[in-house]
Structure 1
Amino acid sequence: MVRHIILWKIKEEVKDPEAAKAAMKRELEALMGKIDGLLEMEVITRPLPSCNADVMLKSAFTDAQALADYIIHPEHKRVGQTFVRPVVTGRMCMDYED
């Protein structure tokens, strides 16, 4: 299994960060069942005050090829272009085998 973890910071100029985070969560989690090899998808939008990230994506894939297919999948690209990139700044990623 391959894990894919992403951390984002919401842009300061976003007028309603809670709505932006809710939309990211809704749209990213809706990818479940649409992309072969995607086993788990969870978006965390309520970090503790000690954190320096606003949103975390935790996902799992059957293997590295499934992750590569997810990255270029049209639904994933649509969600990223419409609901993620316009509202975030900074992105950290960690992929690893479990």
Structure 2
Amino acid sequence: MIRHIVMWKLKDNAEGATREQNALKLKEKLEGCRDIVPGILHLEVGVATPGLESSYDVVLISDFADKAALDAYQVHPTHEALKGFVGAVREARQAVDFEV
């Protein structure tokens, strides 16, 4: 099993919305990817709690049956479509994939 974790720090304002609004939009878009390919075992999206110290705004934690499932997710049209939004609203991104 492959665990795929991605974190985004968002711009204060982008795409006509605030950081908080874009965090919720990104969460919704990512959750829309939950069942797009076979082999997604778990997909969870968290938005940083207001008032708590946090260096990143949104986190994706997902588990894939194997690398082939992760690779299929990466190039799926639904996932590809959200990359434009992410590129417009993100300030920074960190990611890690590892075997569980």
Q: Deviations over 1:35-74 (max 9, x none)?
A: 2211111111124623211111111100011111111111
Q: Paired residue for 2:98? A: 96
With the length of structure 2 as denominator, give the TM-score of the two structures: 0.87
| Mapped pair 1:61 → 2:26 | no
RMSD: 1.5
| Mapped pair 1:10 → 2:15 | no
CA distance in 2, matches of 1:50, 1:41: 24
Structure 1 unaligned runs (5+)? Answer: none
| Mapped pair 1:50 → 2:66 | no
| Identical pairs, percent | 33
- More strand as a share of residues: 2
**How many residues matched?**
97
Amino acid at match of 1:44: G
